[in-house]
Structure 1
């Protein structure tokens, strides 16, 4: 069986999202907020962050670099994106993540040209004048999701011993 590039992207996105969401399966909101390492990371915060990161990059594909402009307010919003606040629930964050994932998947399926590029905004972490194709953004979303699914696996194991694999 052969697949095309879009099928490969969708399969990779789905696999790493499953790994991430498995780490929060059957947790309470309190467990999702629990710090299990010396870092500030929590399972609920990681799911929220991955969701916001994915949304931000898809907005970039569709609307360009202005969607990623960094201001003092956006730095605070970014930091808050790692926290499952008391007025948020894990179920709500997961539902929002699933909605964002559906939007991303639809874009992977329908975007006329995966090579279409947008210039990156000025930032210390981007080379001056650099741009990113939609293809590269989708690969970045896969990588970021996979990386944070690994972090989440460690956090979950410290809560109750559950492992994603093995």
Structure 2
């Protein structure tokens, strides 16, 4: 496999893992904030689409032409790329991400791995290559895939990188509950040291 193909396959694998986390959930579950900072599944997809369009678009001199009003329009709320508004449908956000993937593939096909780019928000270290950008996007995508995995598990217990592959020991609900109790008991032994 060529180096560009390897990098793209890792990026695509992360994308697939993130999108799988949406499957079978209600609109409520896709949008509901599951952490104190508001992390939600649909917002993670919107964020990753935005990031990918930026890095493999403007940074590499290949703007996608896709409007990203949450970045471009004044008066947007903080972190507007991390949640879907009531007017943004699940289908729109998923297609935005799929479109970002198509744009990314076209950018990678058009450029050499040592093609230069510029990340203005990185300051002095903003001069990059396509190779650096791809590695950054792979890390970013897989980081957020992990977030999505935890959020999805909190919603309905589904875990893993793809359907049928959870990468976890085969325990039934009682087995997981027992393991949870055992881990909590271990943690309790250290509670007094935390104060």
TM-score by shorter chain over 0.5:
yes
Is 1:19 the equivalent of 2:17?
yes
Which structure exhibits the higher relative contact order, with contacts defined as CA atoms closer than 8 Å and separated by 6 or more residues?
Answer: 1
Residue of structure 1 equivalent to 2:32: 34
| Residue 137 of structure 1, aligned match among 120, 128, 133 | 133
Q: Is the 8 A contact 2:60 2:118 kept in 1?
A: no
Residue of structure 2 equivalent to 1:99: 99
Deviations 1:100-126 (CA, angstroms, capped at 9, x unpaired): 101101221232x221212332x4xx3
CA 77–108 in structure 1, closer or farther in 2 if over 3 Å, else same: farther
Pair member with larger Rg? 2
Q: Is the 8 A contact 1:43 1:152 kept in 2?
A: yes
Under a length normalisation based on structure 1, what TM-score does the superposition of the two structures give?
0.83
CA 42–144 in structure 1, closer or farther in 2 if over 3 Å, else same: same
Q: Secondary structure at the match of 1:62?
A: coil
CA 72–18 in structure 1, closer or farther in 2 if over 3 Å, else same: closer
Residue of structure 2 equivalent to 1:114: 113
- Paired residues in the alignment total 154
Runs of 5+ unmatched residues, structure 1: 65-70
Q: Is the 8 A contact 1:28 1:90 kept in 2?
A: no
Residue of structure 1 equivalent to 2:158: 162
Q: Secondary structure at the match of 1:88?
A: coil
Shift of 1:20: 0.6
Residue of structure 2 equivalent to 1:62: 61
Runs of 4+ in 1 over 3 A off after TM superposition: 71-78
